[in-house]
Structure 1
Amino acid sequence: MNGHSGPSNGIAPDTNHVEAYANHTGSSTSTASAGPANGGYSQAMSPFQLHDQEALHHLYRAGFEMGNYADTIVHVNQSVVRLHALILSRSPYLVHLMSTSPQPGGQRVIYVNLEHEPEVTQDAFTIALGYLYSSAAVKHIRPENARAVLAAGCLLGSMDELCNYAYEICRQSITMDNINTWLEFVDAVPSVSSDGVSTPVETHQLPPPRTAVFGPYAQQLKDDVFHFLVVTLPQLLNVGALATPATPNPGVPDPGRDALLQVYARVPFDLFKAAVESPVFQIGSDQARFKFAKDAIELRKRGIARGLGAEETVVLAFGGSNFGGSAVHITRKMRKRPLWKVNS
């Protein structure tokens, strides 16, 4: 137990695996159900598959959770984890650290600095470390930490399955309750031009964005938030259900529209513009879309757009669309600085 009363690496023990060991009384020829196979029939695991499964359970329990026979000490912020170099070598990131860290003798010691990766939490990094040992680590992933686990998996590298799993949880967990958090995230994702290429930035001018660790997942998540804003959220709020076909009825309250306005008042400008102009943003007629954009801009003047030195406006093209499929067009221009006359 490495001198601790609990698991040496601070990981809650996998009781399912412990019970499996305690209750396993069969020989190496025992079989277990592997779940439905082709045609809906249950297929028994071969003795070799059962052996591999038990080996992985032991590796995760004794190697990762308990830290038995560890040869590498990993310092992650204020945490210390006892692990094994052979397993850590599955990660290109950790291979680099191990190969560049001086080893005076005895156990290998490496230091992981997460200060420059604010999206990676210590808890998520520990989960990703556990995944190097076994997929049993995914049981610790929840909607609250899925994005951080995705970032940790991207940082360690060679974890496509873990990253895809965490990404899917992120995608499914975008809700009205946490949309503000996701808006802050997408605001940090660099904008992509129409040809799919990010606007180039000189490396000496700006540091990498905090979302750089996600790689292509950053843009995927941004697209998911966009879809939530223009498709899912209006449907959830039943926007326009109490409105006339042409324009919202000022005499009839529409709580769904009001709630949507409060969200759009906090959306970063590029996303706000794309959402309002999107043909899949079903909020009624062009006049209804124009009125919605105008009301949102009024709210934005007192919030997200306040003090930026820019003025947002909305234009409605009568008699047809002049803006690539939408009759409503959002613009933003910098306010002119007042000129002061100096008397000589």
Structure 2
Amino acid sequence: MSTSPQSGAQRVIYVNLDQEPEVTEEGFAIALGYLYSAVSLNLISPQNARAVLAAGCLLGGMDDLCRYSYEACRQSISVDTIGAWVEFIDSIPSQADGSTTHDLSHSQTSIFGLYAQRLKDDVLHFLVVTLPEILEVQHASSEKSHGRDVLLQIYSRVPFDMFKTAVESPSFRVDPTGSDQARFKFAKEAIDLRKRGIARGSGAEETVVLAFGGGNGVGNSVHITRKLRKRTLWKVNA
């Protein structure tokens, strides 16, 4: 088996990886090695787990390898790697209702199959629940803390749809009580940072609204919106 075209009389199965950027030579080699020995599982690391998962899904029939590498991917999501994982799941197409589309034939993440949605759910859960806990923003004695600053910086670089989903979730707790006012204030600060970063030059304006009666701990009262800025019209007198 080869990843490059071969010539001659030898019988070779050619696998074209040019259209599968998630499959690296290392990941492919580990997956091939697994065909002969489960010892190859020991070669899976946080750095190559996604490539191994992609290779396992490409070759098929490697359920144990895929489960093992998926778990390694899930455990590798951290404060240091969340940016790369956010970029990855942002490339996963979604339908209008928020679910992953079944037609992923033109997506570079289509190779992951059902694991694409599982990884997407894992990253969102990390953003909404795990990250604030790790940074201890829920237990900070004041709103000026290093953990909160790190959380703001991460959320200032998250794509809008992901930002909206995370901040609107009642599970996103940035104070001891998980109040809507705290999420609202956090969203305002994050949006202010986003105006100077990811949202700059987008032609759209992001805003946050705390619904009337918000802060009572019931339901979701924080709403993030984005609308196109109106173009300035100039009146010319003839």
TM-score normalised according to structure 1 size: 0.62
Candidates 26, 38, 43, aligned match of 1:140: 43
**Partner residue, 2:29:** 126
- Write the distance in 2 (CA, Å) between the matches of 1:257 and 1:298: 15
**Partner residue, 2:80:** 177
**Partner residue, 1:303:** 197
Give the CA deviation at 1:193: 4.6
**Partner residue, 1:219:** 117
**Partner residue, 2:228:** 334
CA distance 1:230–1:302, change in 2 (3 Å): same
Give the CA deviation at 1:340: 5.0
* Amino acid paired to 1:291: K
Confirm whether residue 261 of structure 1 aligns to residue 152 of structure 2. yes
8 Å contact 1:120–1:149 — kept in the other structure? yes
CA distance 1:185–1:105, change in 2 (3 Å): closer
Paired residues for 1:1-344 under 5 Å: 74-77=1-4, 106-194=9-97, 196=99, 198=101, 208-243=106-141, 248=143, 253-284=144-175, 285-320=179-214, 325-339=219-233
- Write the distance in 1 (CA, Å) between the matches of 2:115 and 2:103: 19
8 Å contact 2:187–2:208 — kept in the other structure? yes
Larger Rg: 1
Residues 166-212 of structure 1: CA deviation (Å, up to 9, x unaligned): 000100110111111111101101124547452879xxxxx712111
8 Å contact 1:316–1:328 — kept in the other structure? yes
* Amino acid paired to 1:133: Y
TM-score normalised according to structure 2 size: 0.88
Give the CA deviation at 1:308: 1.8
CA distance 1:267–1:109, change in 2 (3 Å): same
- Write the distance in 1 (CA, Å) between the matches of 2:152 and 2:3: 42
- Write the distance in 1 (CA, Å) between the matches of 2:140 and 2:12: 65
Unaligned runs of 5+ in 2: none
* Amino acid paired to 1:219: Q
* Amino acid paired to 2:157: R
CA distance 1:131–1:343, change in 2 (3 Å): farther
Higher RCO (C-alpha 8 Å, min separation 6): 2
Matched residue count: 233
CA distance 1:114–1:257, change in 2 (3 Å): same
Give the CA deviation at 1:343: 6.9
**Partner residue, 1:12:** none
- Write the distance in 1 (CA, Å) between the matches of 2:53 and 2:59: 10
- Write the distance in 1 (CA, Å) between the matches of 2:135 and 2:149: 9
* Amino acid paired to 2:47: E
Q: Which has the higher strand share?
A: 1
Give the CA deviation at 1:216: 1.1
* Amino acid paired to 2:194: R
Residues 220-278 of structure 1: CA deviation (Å, up to 9, x unaligned): 1111011111111111111042346xxx4xxxx22111111011111111111111011
Classify the secondary structure of the residue corresponding to 2:17: coil
8 Å contact 1:138–1:162 — kept in the other structure? yes
8 Å contact 1:193–1:199 — kept in the other structure? no
Classify the secondary structure of the residue corresponding to 1:330: strand
8 Å contact 1:76–1:111 — kept in the other structure? yes
8 Å contact 2:28–2:55 — kept in the other structure? yes
Give the CA deviation at 1:77: 4.4
Give the CA deviation at 1:75: 2.6
Quote the sequence identity (%).
Answer: 63
